[in-house]
Amino acid sequence: KIRSAADLQAVATLGFRGEALPSIASVSRFRVTTREAGALAGTEILVNGGKIDVVRDGGEAPGTQVEVRSLFYNLPARRKFLRSENTESRNIEHQVHLQAIGHPEIGFSLMRDDRIVFQLPANCCNVWSK
């Protein structure tokens, strides 16, 4: 439980028991790539509707990238409840900004339709040090 501003700095999880990414992967065409700094190779995982299609070594840049396409493609009834594309995009931008504020040591960027919406380098948003 968070009881003070100091507790906010100690939050180390993203979602309930790590279920956020698997939940998104189950309702989208999902790709994650990751590579540790100094590692020779990274890993790429492709998931469609919750089923892992591909796991392979890759030559990605260090860091982790998450790509979500065709959200709710396999749940048309759920897709009907989405608001306009612009409204949903603003909601996503807001959530990414919140993550950037909560994790200033991580750089974040957001792309939409293969265009960069914004890039926030690591430590750009460290409200705790001010």
Q: Structural domain boundaries of the chain? A: 1-80, 83-130
CA angle 25, 30, 33 (to 5 degrees): 115
pLDDT at 3: 57
Q: Which residues pair with 41 in a beta bridge?
A: none
How far is Cα of residue 75 from the mean position of the Cα atoms in its chain?
Answer: 21
pLDDT at 89: 95
pLDDT at 19: 80
pLDDT at 48: 97
pLDDT at 55: 94
pLDDT at 27: 96
* 128/6 Cα distance (integer angstroms): 9
**Using an 8 Å Cβ cutoff, are 76 and 86 in contact?**
no
For the chain, which residues score pLDDT lower than 70? 1-18, 125-130
CA distances from 24 to 41, 51, 63 (A): 25, 12, 20
Per DSSP, which regions of the chain are E strands?
29-35, 42-48, 51-58, 63-69, 108-112, 115-120
pLDDT at 18: 65
What CATH code is assigned to 1-80?
Answer: 3.30.565.10
pLDDT at 72: 95
